[in-house]
Amino acid sequence: MAAGLGTRMKSRRAKVLHELGGAPLIAHVVRTAQALDPRTILVVVGHQAQEVEQAVLAEVGELASFAIQAKQRGTGDAVESARSQLEHSDSLVLVLSGDVPLIKLETLRKFIEHHYSAAADCSILSVRLENPTGYGRIIRDESGAFQKIVEQRDATEEQRQVREINSGIYCFDSGQLFRALSKVEPANDQGEYYLTDVAEIILRNGGGVNVFLHHDAREVSGINTRAELAEFENLIRRAAIRKLMIDSGVTFIDPSHAYISAEAEIGRDTIIYPNVTIEGKTIIGEGCVIRSGARITNSRLGDAVTIKDHSIIVDSQIESSCAVGPFAHLRMNAVLEEKATVGNFVEVKKSRLKRGTKAMHLSYLGDATIGERTNIGAGTITCNYDGKHKHETIIEDDVKVGSDTMLVAPVRVGARSMTGAGSVVTKDVPPDSLVAGVPAKVKKKLSRG
């Protein structure tokens, strides 16, 4: 169920599209569902249906199909909208909520097994909470047998004392589910069709209802507000950092001020300073140092790499023993080969710096391939854009590019050449030459050595 807006989020975006650990809530849920190897994953969509469908398809592709709930009249109505697709499927229907993202595969497996072994028509996953406020309560009779679920707002003072709550996760026999669903009335405080009423109806009609009490309450906590979303984010983050410290041998100077994606891999003896953000599928090698304010997204770093303060590295690759920053920006598949160095205020876009090459200060290197052991002087710019198209710059091995050189692409600078300070290079520079001036001309041939 993922059709609701999530009023309590106070958002224009559907709740299930809000991100947790870098992925929309709904992506977490369908990913877990997929691991159960079901016949199909049917997602009930309504608010921002297209975006929600896209988020689902991106995660599980073909396995997903959709039912539209145009008006959100409650969780019962949400399941009702899938009637034509499921009613005659003669199958087990596992109902999950799009806003309960941390449910574990193992828990669902046990829950389903329990449903089968109890030969129940309906099973409800419940937990006990210290503070059950806001959840539907599991009401039992004196003998402890299940009677019904009562929502917070419809509950009596006595019922509100019950600490066992409905997680919103259920197993149903498809036939029983839709037979009972036809009888649900919106006779409650919100005037909605509650899926929770189905359990009571199945029971009244002589069906078997089984409650599976699970011990880990956090796993089934729903996200209803941004405060809860932030708490979950914090939980996931802490768990990821703890794992990196304990299992991988990563040092965090201040684990409470590091922001590390759960998908990140970091090698031993790497040191992470405070206020570092590592996003997406980033892989960092051993013995690296990542200083404060760095953000590294979907990138790969070798061993013994130093990232100095406030550098941004996105979709890029940095081989071993490189240094970057402070205040450097690598993006769009920038590649630094071993021992390359990029210093203060240098931007590298879609460019490769080969082994041992240095660009230490104030440069823009875009669409460039730069050879080995080359030095890029302060203030060098690849003028890669003529207003319409991007062009390539090629700088070969052992070149010395003088300070403030403009390389007007497309252009090539031959091996072992030099450009004088302030050169504007508009034509290819042959190997072993010194060029200078505006536009730059060959001044002399350099002796090889």
Closest contact distance (angstroms) between CB of 260 and ligand UD1 is: 28
Among 32, 48, 97, 375, binds ligand UD1 (CB under 6 A): 97
> Other C-beta atoms within 10 Å of 87: how many?
16
Is residue 103 close enough to count as binding ligand UD1 by CB under 6 A? Answer: no
SS3 assignment for 41-70: EEEEEECEHHHHHHHHHHHHHHHEEEEECC
Among 32, 107, 126, 167, binds ligand UD1 (CB under 6 A): 167
Q: Which residue is nearest to ligand UD1 (CB)?
A: 136
- Which residues 129-148 are close enough to bind ligand UD1 by CB under 6 A? 135-136
Q: What are phi and psi of 145, to 5 degrees?
A: -80, 145
The dihedral built from the CA positions of residue 395, 396, 402 and 403, taken in this order, carries a sign that is positive
> Other C-beta atoms within 10 Å of 10: how many?
8
**221 or 317: CB nearest Ca ion:** 221
CA distance 423 to 435: 8
Q: How far is the CA of 154 from the CAs of 137, 150, 160, in angstroms?
A: 10, 6, 9
Is residue 4 close enough to count as binding ligand UD1 by CB under 6 A? Answer: yes
Among 9, 102, 165, 301, binds ligand UD1 (CB under 6 A): 165
98 binds, among ligand UD1, Ca ion, none (CB under 5 to 8 A by kind): ligand UD1
The secondary structure of 206-250 as a DSSP string is T--EEEEEES-TGGGPPP-SHHHHHHHHHHHHHHHHHHHHHTT--
> Other C-beta atoms within 10 Å of 233: how many?
16
Is 115 labeled as catalytic in the residue annotation? Answer: no
114, 310, 361, 391: the active-site residue = 361
Q: Are 16 and 98 in contact (CB under 8 A)?
A: yes
Determine the interface stretch with ligand UD1 among 122-130, 161-169, 355-363, 389-397 (rule: CB under 6 A): 161-169
Is residue 53 close enough to count as binding ligand UD1 by CB under 6 A? Answer: no
Among 168, 207, 267, 356, binds ligand UD1 (CB under 6 A): 168
CA distance 224 to 135: 11
Among 9, 27, 41, 78, binds ligand UD1 (CB under 6 A): 78
Active-site residues, by number, are: 361
Residues that bind ligand UD1 (CB under 6 A): 1-4, 16, 44, 69, 72-75, 77-78, 97-100, 135-136, 149, 151, 165-168, 194-196, 222, 224
